[in-house]
Amino acid sequence: MDDEKVLGVKDMHSAQLTELMNFCCYTLDLAAELAEQMNDPEVFKEASSQVESLAEMFGANTLIVQI
């Protein structure tokens, strides 16, 4: 059995969590802009999927709303 421990959001320092969320928000903002420029909504959908996967890896739940 693997003895390595993965840190989750509950174990992270608040500064680490803030930076992770800032990165996710930046990624989504950039993807939304690129999707609009390219007229390709799949760009944002793929970025959203990747952000959700990253959040789940750290044990977080996500709610991504595009306005």
pLDDT for the residue 61: 82
Secondary structure percentages of the chain, helix, strand, coil, to 5 = 65, 0, 35
What average pLDDT does range 47-53 have in this prediction? 95
pLDDT reading at 1 higher than 60: no
Residue extents of the structural domains in the chain: 14-57
Question: pLDDT (tens digit, 9 = 90+) per residue, 5-39?
Answer: 777 888 989 999 999 999 999 999 999 999 999 99
C-alpha–C-alpha distance, residues 45 and 47, integer Å: 6
Q: Cβ atoms within 10 A of the Cβ of 47, count?
A: 20
C-alpha–C-alpha distance, residues 23 and 29, integer Å: 10
Q: Token pair of 49, please?
A: 């999927």
pTM for this predicted structure: 0.80
pLDDT for the residue 6: 74
